[in-house]
Amino acid sequence: MDGIPGQDELERIRDANPIEDVVQGYKIELVRRGNVFKGLCPFHPDKNPSMDVNPDRRTFHCWSCEAHGDVFSFVQMVEGVEFPEAKKILADRAGIEIKQWKPNPQLKQEEDQDLQLLERTATWFQKQLQSPAGTPAREYLAKRGFSDDSIRKFRIGFAPPGWNNLCDELGRMRDGVAGSLECAEKLGLVKQGQRADGYYDAYRDRVIFPIREQQRGKVVGFGGRHLASVPSSSGDDPPKYINSRESRIYSKKRHLYGFREGRKEINSEKRAILCEGYTDVIMAHQCGFPVTVASLGTALTLEHVSFLSKKVHRVDLLFDGDDAGQRAACRSCELFLGTKVEVRVVMLSQGQDPCDLLASDQGGQEFEQLLESGEDPIEFVIKQIHIEHPGKSAAATQRRMDEISSRILEKFEGTTLETAVGIVALATGHSESNISNDHHRFMSQRSARHSPVSSQPISEAEGGLPDPTDPSEGGAGVPVGDLTATEDALLVNMIRYPSQIELLLRISPPERWDHPIRRSLALRFKQLGGIPDPVHIEQEHEKNYFLRLQERVDREQEWLSENDRSEGEFDLARELLICWLIALRQKIPRQPPFLERIMEITQTIQELTENAISLQNPSILMEIINTFEGRGDDLPPAPEIV
């Protein structure tokens, strides 16, 4: 097999292209300042050099516009290209021939067969819509106001009532290339009955909406809206909508309905309108809003946000006005915060349907006015935080401010943080200086984790974690109030002190971390037993987050003295270990047979508290875990009460 492993190839290209040389190759003058180079940022009108280029880390970071990344990211941004093009530019610059692994011919053939089967099925659904059996579907589409052009553009079809219409058609397709019922079952087109050879149609009496992937326009799945044109044989109402199952060629979190059909307008306008349904997208396109897309039966994901962030400058989020819609809008807002995408949140009135609104007289004009009423995402999230944490007490106010820091302000740095603080000030009535000071306090506490150790373990009801001594949880566990609040500190500590990776991940198993990006990064640390090379991190959000953590460690190293770094090296590990021991002690009954065990744990806690310097060793702290882990489950039997 020709080619070299992809990771080795990326390393060769990266090593052959020192980032400071690449940056200067774009006529950007760099001046060395200590360990970094300073220069004018090419990504915003920069009068004072605000971009750092770190040759040791092989990264760049602008402290004004927040542009940052590695040499591949820099070329992507400055050239306006995707990663493969940036990789080729850098390879050509260094005279490196890119050799790709040859694709597995069997896998390629199977994927081609899947796509061919889905294409032929989509065509068959379209024919059924135009057949006599498709009359109820055509009437439904006409009633909703869909034009023939929209039906053709989106390739809308119809799955007739009955159990075997598609199965019979697939049987007639058996030509050695596509048509296998087994393949169709994997793609979710048919289902297997109780008999081994018995299949039946998954889509029955439904208007069919083919789902096309963004790049090539290939059909990768279907959505189906039930018509109820014939009585149900079971008497139960089937789901209103069903969607294709996940497959090797279709992933809900990576596809957006309507993007392929509106790609030219989206690329031209650099804007997208994100709504929730197939019919909303189709009618929006029909009424002059071809930049409208929808997620496919799933909440907005990081993959969706990453994809849109590369394509557009503005996104209008359109959600139902009920409680579920409010929560979904809030989650989506938080995913976009900190990106370069301008977001507006549009909440519909209760029971308002975008499709029906657009299809009405003056619908396009009313829809445009609705979009213009969009709310700033930071203000919207703050409103949700007030709903989640009501009250006028000082404690309630502090909870809200902590939530604002963790869910909003944490996503910003530099000048964008200043802007965000200003918006928060207007929305809350607090002064900008108080908000800024409170946020810095919150972040400092999260980073240092020097909060006092409670004498009581935090229960799940109070927002804590499951009991660390529960054998079903695995690992030592950390009974802190909010694991996500410690995850940044854990990662920073591991980057600063790699020798503690095994210890910290033993205390806090990464499989139980809350935040998906932090969890993925921690699992990477655990697998490597060290700090990863960022060039091997393919996910853009994870890579950028890791680079920012490294930058944060570098900044802190500059102002922390050698003594400070040495004295605080094991503070986080000790604090978390003390929390775990306290929780373990709380489980033990305070009865004579158990007093020796309680005393042993108490003495260890006291030793960790009073003799911190003598315990500054990963092996010693690991031995404490080994001594007590699992011993909460082998307590001697309690004496019988006579």
Rank 149-163, 404-418, 518-532 by mean pLDDT and report only the highest: 149-163
Would you say residue 619 has pLDDT above 70? yes
Task: Please report, as a single letter, which amino acid is at residue 625.
Answer: I
* Rounded Cα distance, 596 and 606, in Å: 15
- Determine contact, residues 457/480, Cβ cutoff 8 Å: no
Level-2 CATH architecture, domain 6-94 = Alpha-Beta Complex (3.90)
What pLDDT was estimated at residue 355?
92
| Confidence band, pLDDT 50/70/90 cuts, at residue 353 | confident
Compute φ and ψ for 480, nearest 5 degrees: -95, 165
- Determine contact, residues 192/214, Cβ cutoff 8 Å: no
Where does the chain hold its CATH 3.90.980.10 domain(s)? 108-249
pLDDT single digits (tens) 46-57 = 888 889 999 988
Pick the residue with more confidence: 237 or 176?
237
What pLDDT was estimated at residue 446?
64
What pLDDT was estimated at residue 4?
41
What pLDDT was estimated at residue 76?
84
Q: What's the rounded mean pLDDT across residues 261-274?
A: 91
What pLDDT was estimated at residue 309?
86
Which tokens belong to 347? 């909440």
Q: What's the rounded mean pLDDT across residues 204-233?
A: 89
Burial class from Cβ neighbours inside 10 Å (0-12, 13-18, 19+) for residue 257 reads buried
What pLDDT was estimated at residue 614?
66
Q: What's the rounded mean pLDDT across residues 32-40?
A: 89
Would you say residue 482 has pLDDT above 70? no
Task: Please report, as a single letter, which amino acid is at residue 493.
Answer: N
Q: Enter the DSSP assignment of 503.
A: H
Pick the residue with more confidence: 642 or 371?
371
Cα 549 versus chain centre, distance = 18
Would you say residue 444 has pLDDT above 90? no
What pLDDT was estimated at residue 100?
59
Q: Say which residue the tokens 């911190």 belong to.
A: 612
- Report the chain's mean pLDDT, rounded to a whole number: 82
Q: What's the rounded mean pLDDT across residues 492-498?
A: 87
What pLDDT was estimated at residue 580?
80
Q: Say which residue the tokens 């809900």 belong to.
A: 252
Short-list 70, 73, 60, 68, CA closest to 15: 70
User: What proportion of the chain, given as a percentage, has pLDDT over 70?
Assistant: 84
CB crowding 529-561: b at 16 or more within 10 Å, else e: eeeeebbebebbbbbbbbbbbbbbbbeeeeeee
What pLDDT was estimated at residue 483?
39
* Rounded Cα distance, 484 and 405, in Å: 13
* Rounded Cα distance, 424 and 115, in Å: 49
Residues of the chain by 3-state class (helix, strand, coil), percent to 5: 55, 10, 35
Would you say residue 566 has pLDDT above 70? no
Q: Considering the entire predicted model, what is its pTM? A: 0.59
What pLDDT was estimated at residue 473?
34
Short-list 223, 352, 351, CA closest to 295: 223
| Parallel/antiparallel/unpaired status of strands 51-54 and 59-62 | antiparallel
Where does the chain hold its CATH 3.90.580.10 domain(s)? 6-94
Pick the residue with more confidence: 155 or 167?
155
Would you say residue 37 has pLDDT above 90? yes
* Rounded Cα distance, 208 and 133, in Å: 14
Compute φ and ψ for 60, nearest 5 degrees: -130, 155
Return the axis-axis angle of helices 377-388 and 414-428, rounded to nearest 10°: 50
* Topology of the domain covering 108-249: DNA primase DNAg catalytic core, N-terminal domain (3.90.980)
Between the alpha carbon of residue 451 and those of residues 36, 437, 442, 481, 576, the distances in Å are: 34, 18, 11, 11, 11
Q: Which residues fall within 8 angstroms of residue 572, CB to CB, at 6 or more apart? A: 448, 449, 489, 490, 493, 504
Mean pLDDT check: name the lowest of 280-284, 379-383, 445-449, 487-491: 445-449
* Rounded Cα distance, 365 and 381, in Å: 28
CATH of domain 254-375: 3.40.1360.10
Pick the residue with more confidence: 462 or 75?
75
Which tokens belong to 371? 């979009």
pLDDT single digits (tens) 177-205 = 444 788 888 899 998 875 555 789 999 99
Would you say residue 633 has pLDDT above 60? no
Q: What is the DSSP string of 25-74?
A: TTT--EEEETTEEEE--TTS--SS--EEEETTTTEEEETTT--EEEHHHH
What pLDDT was estimated at residue 477?
41
| Confidence band, pLDDT 50/70/90 cuts, at residue 433 | very high
Q: What's the rounded mean pLDDT across residues 517-534?
A: 87
* Rounded Cα distance, 11 and 5, in Å: 10
Mean pLDDT check: name the lowest of 213-222, 360-369, 442-451, 496-505: 442-451
Pick the residue with more confidence: 210 or 537?
210
Q: Tell me how long the chain is.
A: 642
Find the DSSP H helices in 270-372.
278-286, 302-311, 323-336, 354-359, 363-372
Q: Enter the DSSP assignment of 341.
A: -
491-495 long-range contacts (CB < 8 A, ≥24 apart) are 491/518, 491/521, 491/522, 491/525, 491/549, 492/447, 492/549, 492/552, 492/553, 493/572, 493/573, 494/525, 494/531, 495/531, 495/549, 495/550, 495/553
Would you say residue 147 has pLDDT above 60? yes
Pick the residue with more confidence: 501 or 2?
501
What pLDDT was estimated at residue 496?
86
pLDDT single digits (tens) 87-125 = 889 999 988 887 655 556 777 788 888 999 999 999 999
What pLDDT was estimated at residue 174?
56
* Rounded Cα distance, 618 and 616, in Å: 7
pLDDT single digits (tens) 6-19 = 556 888 899 999 99
Short-list 627, 630, 633, CA closest to 607: 627
Would you say residue 172 has pLDDT above 80? no
Would you say residue 467 has pLDDT above 60? no
Three-state SS for 581-610 is HHHHHHHCCCCHHHHHHHHHHHHHHHHHHH
Q: What is the DSSP string of 13-38?
A: HHHTS-HHHHHHTTT--EEEETTEEE
